[in-house]
Structure 1
Amino acid sequence: MGDGEKRTVFVTGGTTCFDALVQAVDSERVKEALLQKGYTHLLIQMGRGTYAPSKVTGNSTLQVDYFTFSPSIADYIREASLVISHAGSGSIFETLRLSKPLIVVVNEDLMDNHQSELAEELAERKHLFCARPQTLQETIQAMDLTTLQPYVPGDAKPVVTLINKFLGFPGE
Structure 2
Amino acid sequence: TMTCFITVGSTRFDALTNEILSEATLSALKRLGVTNVVAQVGAGEFESKRFEEVFGSSCDRDSGSTTFAGLKIEFYRYKPSIAEDMSKAKFVIGHAGAGTVLECLRLRKTLVVVVNELLMDNHQVELAAKLADLDHVLYCVPSDLAQTMVNPGLFTLQPYTPPDMAKVARHIDGLMGVRA
TM-score by length of 2: 0.86
Contact 2:17–2:45 (CA<8 Å) still a contact in 1?
no
User: Which structure dedicates a bigger proportion of its chain to strand?
Assistant: 2
Segments of 4+ moved more than 4 angstroms? 56-59
* Residue equivalent to 1:114: 123
Q: How does 1:1-172 map to 2 (within 5 A)?
A: 6-51=1-46, 53=51, 54-55=54-55, 60-171=69-180
Cα distance in 2 for partners of 1:59, 1:68 equals: 20
Q: Deviations over 1:98-128 (max 9, x none)?
A: 1111100000111110001101110111111
Please tell me the root mean square deviation across aligned C-alpha atoms, in Å: 1.8
Q: Deviations over 1:12-55 (max 9, x none)?
A: 00011011001111101110111011001111100111226433
Aligned residues with identical type, % of pairs: 41
Q: Deviations over 1:50-92 (max 9, x none)?
A: 2264336897201111000011111000000110000001000
Cα distance in 2 for partners of 1:137, 1:43 equals: 16
Aligned length: 166
Cα distance in 2 for partners of 1:157, 1:59 equals: 49
Q: Deviations over 1:119-143 (max 9, x none)?
A: 1110111111101101001101224
Over 3 Å counting, the alpha-carbon distance change for 1:165 and 1:144 in structure 2 is closer
Structure 2 regions of 5+ residues with no counterpart?
57-65
Matched residue SS, 1:63? strand
Over 3 Å counting, the alpha-carbon distance change for 1:26 and 1:146 in structure 2 is closer
Greater CA drift, 74-83 or 57-66: 57-66
Supply the AA of the counterpart residue of 1:7: M
Contact 2:108–2:160 (CA<8 Å) still a contact in 1?
yes
